[in-house]
Amino acid sequence: MDRRVAIKWMLAAGAGTLLVHPLSFAEATPPGSASEGYGKDADLLKAHKPGEFWPLTFTDAVRRDVAALCDQVLPADDRSPSASALGVHDFIDEWVSAPYPAQVKDRAVILPGLAWVDTQSRARFGRAFSEARPEQQISLCEEMAPEAPAGSQLEVASRFFKRFRNLAAAGFFSTPVGMTDLGYIGNVPLPRFEGPPADLIEKLGLTDEVKW
């Protein structure tokens, strides 16, 4: 099973629980501002430019690293383009730059993790993560992927990569291309509902819980 399929099963297993919190995209004050509140609701009927609501966080160099890391999590395949081709790295920049409590909490995880990735890549490979060879990028990802014990040297990296994968998946599968890849059809009226697919019920071990 490749990574994209594994992420699809992860999303299916978590059905009913959003990967990201549903929040109004409001005109808000940036993190650290002395102002209180988030301001008025944005006009969602018009297009908005990146950074229009709050200052963005990533430098050009960090954005390149994030794009490369997104593509290791969700690379291009014969069905869909890579995560960076769909702007998932821009989504993550917007996310960690927002002043809402959940985003501020993620910011404290994502930014130190990106710093770890940059430091390790330069120390081991003599170049930024985005400039490293694919096998070098993969080696760092494989090191971060396992759950690291609390207090270990990899705790920061492991916690970062776990949350980063979630954000990358949320960004990718909320795009029209990602929804098509996932097989999500949205709020479409059906003549009848046959229940969850039998293979999915069996795959998730829910045969005793789901009766139709």
Helix (H/G/I), strand (E/B), else coil: 102: helix
**What confidence score (pLDDT) does residue 5 get?**
58
In this structure, is residue 209 part of a structural domain?
A: no
CA–CA gap between residue 35 and residue 156 (Å, rounded): 31
List the chain pLDDT tens, one digit each, 212 residues: 555 555 555 554 444 334 444 333 334 444 444 456 666 666 778 887 888 888 999 999 999 999 999 999 999 999 899 999 999 999 999 999 999 999 999 999 999 999 999 999 999 999 999 999 999 999 999 999 999 888 888 999 999 999 999 999 999 999 999 998 888 877 788 888 878 888 888 888 887 665 55
Angle at 125 between CA 121 and CA 131, to 5 degrees: 70
208 found inside a domain: no
Three-class secondary structure of residue 26 per DSSP:
strand
Domain assignment present for residue 202? The answer is no
**Number of domains into which the chain is organized:** 1
Q: Tell me, what's the pLDDT at 20? A: 43
**Six token digits for residue 142:** 């494989």
Residue 205: its pLDDT value, please? 82
CB 86 within 8 A of CB 175: yes
Domain membership flag for residue 210: no
Domain annotation covers residue 65: yes
Pairwise CA distance, residues 104 & 97, whole Å: 8
Structural domain containing residue 26: 3-186
pTM confidence score: 0.73
Residue 200, domain member (yes or no): no
Asked if residue 192 is part of any domain, the answer here is: no
What values do phi and psi take at 41, rounded to 5? Answer: -65, 145
